[in-house]
Amino acid sequence: MTISVNDAVNAVMWRYRHNVARHVLGVARHCQAAIMHRLQSQCGHHQLRLGFEPYISLLARGDQRLSELADALCISRQAANQVIDQIESAGYVDRAPDPEDGRAKRLRLTRRGRRLVTDGTEAAAAIETVYCEILGTRKVAAFRADCTRLASYLGGENAANGETLAETAPLAATLPRLADHVSRELMQLTIGRGHPGLKLSFGHVLTLIGPRGGRVQQIAQAQDISKQAASAIASELEQLGYLERSLDAGDARQRVLTFTPRGRLLIEDSVASVEDMAEALAAAVGKRCWQRLSRTAADLYCGLHLEQDVFDKQNTDSLDAMAQRLRQQLGRREARALGQLLVAGGT
């Protein structure tokens, strides 16, 4: 049987969409974005960024030095300080003298920061309720336990310890850790396959380019970054030979980002890297745990209708698509109440 070039490309793109890394990253991004939306629209917290979460979570356990935060996050003090400066400017953190060292400072949550933690905990519980409506309570509880077990392993703890944390560690705490590990591990594995210029930031653009290409504005909105930042990343990828821009057939004012042959090779190599990573994680936490986590991540990814505008040919402005987005942001109960209110207002 002869396999055409188009069939081969389609097979790679299918694996590019249907793999555990994309599902974990997509669900983690949805979880964080949904919590962010609730904190901003319902709780009045502003100047928030997704990158603040691990710092706020660590400081919620107690005051820490900058060096302790940097070590916990496995980043440089300079990188940690840049984010802390932003969090401090937003009013969620301040610096106090260290009682053990008069020359040093300790970072601590302000009153506003402590309220953010409380509101964030409630928002995280509300998002899990939405997930329970999609999958069922028992399946979400098992997913939470499996994610906690894996996050504990990645954090250097043993699996048994991870199980004792399962009841207290919400998905909002574990999913970002898993997503961060997946992103870093895949980058290193794919670099080893002959792509030395890769950066973590490239994932903001590459993961949102489907068979019909991608648009900078849509990518920026989906990733909660500026249009300028998305365009700058796309330009770097063009210079490396992974992407090219062409006129949008549907709108001459827009340009579409598409993969070059080298870009398609990158996708093929990244998919192979996903399989290597999955094999290693399955060996670490147990095949049964890993398979259950992978299946549930896929079910939730599909149940939330994530990234359909990237891969499926549909009108994203249709009423069905709008209803799906409302359910994702509000949950079925609140979305239903909004629908009833709109119907009542139109009669």
Long-range Cβ contact pairs of 271-278 (< 8 A, separation 24 or more): 271/12, 271/15, 271/16, 271/19, 272/193, 273/186, 273/189, 273/190, 273/193, 274/19, 274/20, 274/21, 274/186, 275/19, 276/189, 277/21, 277/182, 277/185, 277/186, 277/189, 278/19, 278/20, 278/21
DSSP 180-194: HHHHHHHHHHHHTTT
236 domain residue, yes or no = yes
| CA–CA distance, 288 with 152 (Å, rounded to integer) | 17
Cα of 79 vs its chain's centroid, Å: 20
Name 127's Cβ contacts closer than 8 Å, sequence gap at least 6: 31, 34, 35, 38, 171, 172
Name 18's Cβ contacts closer than 8 Å, sequence gap at least 6: 298
Q: Which H or E element spans position 102? A: strand 101-109
Name 216's Cβ contacts closer than 8 Å, sequence gap at least 6: 227, 230, 231, 234, 255, 257
71 domain residue, yes or no = no
Q: What is the pLDDT of residue 98?
A: 87
Over residues 66-71, the mean pLDDT reads 90
Highest mean pLDDT among 107-121, 159-173, 330-344: 107-121
Q: Is the pLDDT of residue 108 over 50?
A: yes
32 domain residue, yes or no = yes
Average pLDDT over all residues of the chain: 83
Kindly report, residue by residue over 240-278, the tens digit of the pLDDT.
Answer: 999 999 887 766 677 899 999 999 999 999 999 999 999
**Number of domains into which the chain is organized:** 1
| CA–CA distance, 38 with 31 (Å, rounded to integer) | 11
Q: Give the domain range for residue 200.
A: 5-61+115-307
Decide: 98 and 106 in contact? Cβ < 8 Å: yes
Kindly report, residue by residue over 299-318, the tens digit of the pLDDT.
Answer: 999 999 998 877 775 444 44
User: Tell me, what CATH number does 230's domain have?
Assistant: 1.10.10.10
Q: What is the pLDDT of residue 323?
A: 54
Residue among 271, 305, 344 at smallest CA distance from 20: 271
Over residues 95-99, the mean pLDDT reads 90
Q: What is the pLDDT of residue 247?
A: 80
Q: What is the pLDDT of residue 54?
A: 84
Q: Which residues are registered as beta bridge partners of 256?
A: 246
Decide: 176 and 54 in contact? Cβ < 8 Å: yes
Q: Is the pLDDT of residue 196 over 60?
A: yes
| CA–CA distance, 229 with 216 (Å, rounded to integer) | 9
Question: What is the CA angle 79-85-88, rounded to 5?
Answer: 140
Over residues 81-96, the mean pLDDT reads 94
Q: Based on C-alpha coordinates, what's the Rg of the chain?
A: 21
In degrees and rounded to multiples of 5, residue 117 shows phi and psi of -65, -45
- Neighbouring CB atoms inside 10 A of 344's CB total 8
Q: Is the pLDDT of residue 321 over 80?
A: no
Q: What is the pLDDT of residue 28?
A: 93
pLDDT band at 193 (very low <50, low <70, confident <90, very high): very high
Report the half-sphere exposure of 101 (CA within 13 A, side-chain side): 6
29 domain residue, yes or no = yes
pLDDT band at 154 (very low <50, low <70, confident <90, very high): confident
Over residues 312-329, the mean pLDDT reads 50
Q: Is the pLDDT of residue 332 over 70?
A: no
| CA–CA distance, 125 with 157 (Å, rounded to integer) | 25
Give the pTM: 0.78
Q: What is the pLDDT of residue 166?
A: 43
Cα of 173 vs its chain's centroid, Å: 12
Q: What is the pLDDT of residue 298?
A: 96
Kindly report, residue by residue over 177-191, the tens digit of the pLDDT.
Answer: 899 899 999 999 999
